[in-house]
Amino acid sequence: MRRPTFGILLVLTMSLTGLVGSAAAAPSGGGEPTVSGPVTGGQGFPSILTTNFSLADVGYESAEYFIEGTATSYAQAAPFKADGKWKVDEKDTAPYKTRMVVYRPIDPKDFNGTVFLEWLNVSAGFDTSPDWLSAHNQMIRAGAAWVGVSAQAVGVQGGADVIPGAATGGIKGGDPARYGTLDHPGDAYSYDIYTQAGRAVAGDAKGVNPLGDLDVKRVIAVGESQSAFRLTTYVNAIHPLAKVFDGFLIHSRGAGSAPLGESQFSQRDSSTPKDAHIRTDTDVPVLTFQTESDFLLLGFLPARQPDSKNFRLWEVAGTSHADAYTVGLSMGDLGDGKAELTLLDPAAASGSVLKCTQNINAGPASAVLNAGLEHLEQWVEGGPPPPHAPRLVFAETAGPTLVRDQYGNAKGGIRTPVVDVPLAANTGEKNQGGSFCVVFGTTVPLDAATLAALYPTHDDYVQKFDAATDKAVKAGFMLAPEAKNWKAAARQLSVP
């Protein structure tokens, strides 16, 4: 990635997509952060919802670091328009101190030079790592490092939006002995905090290097759901000034984007357009990854845009904003095929620990996301862009209606054997029940008569499933390790 020093040419700031801008005399934002750590004490481990297997078993190690400095907020230089070509001015400054969680290969020879910097999600009122949970197997296979940064105030010191039963007060309230010195000045400063975290993992910081002796060559920004809203604003408004990131994964956003000010969600602030495209003059690759739910519940359809030189949009059939993989299976998944077997088996469908009234989605989102991540990393390295993906099919009605086949699965979009050789209808439709069930989609198993008509013998099912899997791999939407696991799962099921 670009490595300008402070005081020389380029201006640095936050996430991954941006426009080619002229050189400036000093970096945008508060400047050079200070990193300290590794952090110890308190409960003895980082407070974050993440995977629960031993990283050492896959050749990785973890550490936590504090990052602090002076952060800058931003204001619109002109009203933001839907095209995403936004300009901002620096506004106020404030001191901050937050944390980063680092997962990195133990042996430097296993590191491939890429750091995925995740904007930790705080929708539940505490820090979660949905992109690490969804795509950790691909990151580990590639030899990349992952860093999660507490960029928002809710993660550090809590806020009003906390799911029932969760501890209040953020990580400071949950473990004051470990995090009592942290201080977040508010989400208006989150963009520059994220920028400075990007600088830190690239080696442009005072104090400790959070990646140790690893040779960092590129930093890719990733964020899911509410973090994707913020990365949309970052790409359009901040990256043209900051130019810290080499690429962006914007995962499951709605039509709008997050505000520059204090509001956590875009729906509570009218300063950004209701429908926001990713600017088409970005100078780094941007992959936007969308599930069915992101259209049906978050209203993404008006923000849909064509692919361009540095932009790709993937829309994936049979998927939901969150699913059975992210809510539980991901935490212990080591890529051994057990997760795929559970997802494919209609008898394993359930409302999950969330106690949703309907079976939650058991679709292929994680498998396709792994492929997207590999394509994005290669694209950032100078390789070919991800393949163009077909769009989901919507009916021309008063409201967006996703067209479905006779079995209940969506038409169009990225295809996988889960939807093309179905045992169930996997959708992103609204679920009911406990906290957040609405975004977990549904799984409706096909009845015995339908299965018998579709697959007279087990061999019929396996042959069709294998052919659909091979087609997805050839199209670039599934990787060989996941394909192998899905095929093995199909062979183990009793179908019909």
pLDDT in tens, 256-294: 999 998 755 444 455 789 999 999 999 999 999 999 999
The set of residues, in sequence order, having a beta carbon less than 8 Å from that of 325 and lying 6+ positions away, is 134, 333, 339, 343, 362, 365, 366
Percent of the chain with pLDDT strictly greater than 90: 86
Neighbours of 237 (CB within 10 A): 28
Q: What is the value of pTM for the model shown?
A: 0.92
- Closest among 262, 218, 232 to 112, alpha carbons compared: 218
Neighbours of 163 (CB within 10 A): 12
- pLDDT mean over 337-362: 96
Distances, alpha carbon 99 to alpha carbons 34, 127, 196, 295, in Å:
11, 11, 12, 33
Q: How far apart are CA 91 and CA 73, in angstroms?
A: 5
Flag the least confident range among 154-168, 375-389, 448-462.
154-168
pLDDT in tens, 7-30: 322 222 223 223 223 233 345 776
- For residue 476, pLDDT over 90 is answered with yes
- pLDDT mean over 182-200: 97
- pLDDT mean over 111-138: 96
Per-residue pLDDT at 23:
31
Residue 257 tokens, joined: 């984007």
pLDDT in tens, 394-437: 997 767 799 999 999 999 999 999 999 999 999 999 999 977 89
Q: What is the mean pLDDT of the chain?
A: 91
- For residue 1, pLDDT over 50 is answered with no
